[in-house]
Amino acid sequence: MSPVLQGSTPRTKGLLVKIFLSPLGVIYRIWTLSIRMRYAPENGRDELRMHPEPIVLTLWHNRLFLAGEWHNRYRKDKRIYGLISASKDGAWLETFYGWTGIRAIRGSQNRRGMQAIRELVKVINVGHNDVGITPDGSRGPKYQAKPGAMAVAKITKAPVLLLSFEYTHALRLKSWDGFVIPFPFSSVKVTTKLIGSDFLSKDRTLEEAAQFVEDKLNRITKD
C-alpha cells in the first residue's frame, strides 16, 4: 500500500471496543428518547413537512448530541449519512453516532476531504438520502463555517437545512466548541430553516456561500 493511501485510511474502533461500549449506547438512546423536542409555529416545522427530497443538514458541532434523535423523529423515512473526521477523535464519534442510526462518511479538510465529498454526493444522488455536515467541525473555530461544507450542496443542488437547538437545562463541556448535552427529560426548542440551492449560484464562491450559511445559522443559534 502506498504512503498516500495508507495516510488516507480513516481510523476506526475495533469490534471488541464497540461491544464494550454498547451499554453506553443503550444509555444514550434512553437519554435522547427522554428529551421533549418542540417546534414553535414559526420555526420551520411546516416548511420541513413540505420537503420530502434529500437535504444537506447543517448544524454547529456543539449541537450534535441530538442530531440523530432529531432525524429519527422528523426525517424517519430517510437514512442520514454524517461527515465525521478521519482522525482518532472521529473514530469515537463514528461509534457514538452509530447508536442513533447516523452512518459515517469519514473525512475532513486535512484528511480524505475530496473522497468524503464524493461519497456524500453519491449517497444523495444514488440513494436519495440526507447528509449531515457541521461546517465548523471538527476543530473549529467555533461558529465559523468552512467553505468545503458547501461543496456537497453545490454539486448535488440539494437544499440546505439549517438546524439548531435551544436548551432549557443542559451541561456545557469545556471543549473548543462548548459541546452541549441536554439533561434527561428536559425540553429542547428546535429551529430549522430551509435554504434553496439557488443561493449557490455560479457567481457565488464557496467562501461566500459559507459566509451566507454562517450568518443564517448564527441567527437561529441561541446560547
Task: Locate the domains of the chain by residue range.
Answer: 3-219
Judge contact between 138 and 89, C-beta under 8 A: yes
Which grid cell sits at 172?
A: 456545557
For every residue of the chain, DSSP letters joined together read --HHHHHHSPP---HHHHHHHHHHHHHHHHHHHT-EEEE-TTSSHHHHHT--S--EEE--GGGGGGHHHHHHHHSTTS-EEEEE-SSHHHHHHHHHHHTTTEEEEE--SSSSHHHHHHHHHHHHHTT--EEEE-TTTTT--TT---GGGGHHHHHH-PPEEEEEEEESSEEE-SSTT--EEEPTT-EEEEEEEEE-GGGS-TTS-HHHHHHHHHHHHHHT---
Average of per-residue pLDDT across 150-162: 91
| Distance of alpha carbon 67 from alpha carbon 85, whole angstroms | 16
pLDDT > 70: percent of the chain: 86
Q: What is the pLDDT of residue 90?
A: 66
pLDDT > 80? residue 97: no
> How many Cβ atoms from other residues are within 10 Å of residue 120's Cβ?
26
Q: What is the pLDDT of residue 110?
A: 55
| Distance of alpha carbon 38 from alpha carbon 47, whole angstroms | 15
Q: Which residue has the higher pLDDT, 149 or 205?
A: 205
**Residue 25: CB partners within 8 Å, gap ≥ 6?**
98, 99
Q: What is the pLDDT of residue 112?
A: 59
Task: Dump pLDDT digits (tens) for 23-48.
Answer: 888 899 999 999 999 998 889 999 99
CATH number of 3-219: 3.40.1130
Q: What is the pLDDT of residue 1?
A: 31
pLDDT > 70? residue 89: no
Which pTM was predicted? Answer: 0.86
Whether the bond into 175 is cis, omega within 30 of 0? no
Q: Strand 180-182 to strand 170-172: parallel, antiparallel, or no bridges (unpaired)?
A: antiparallel
Q: What is the pLDDT of residue 223?
A: 87
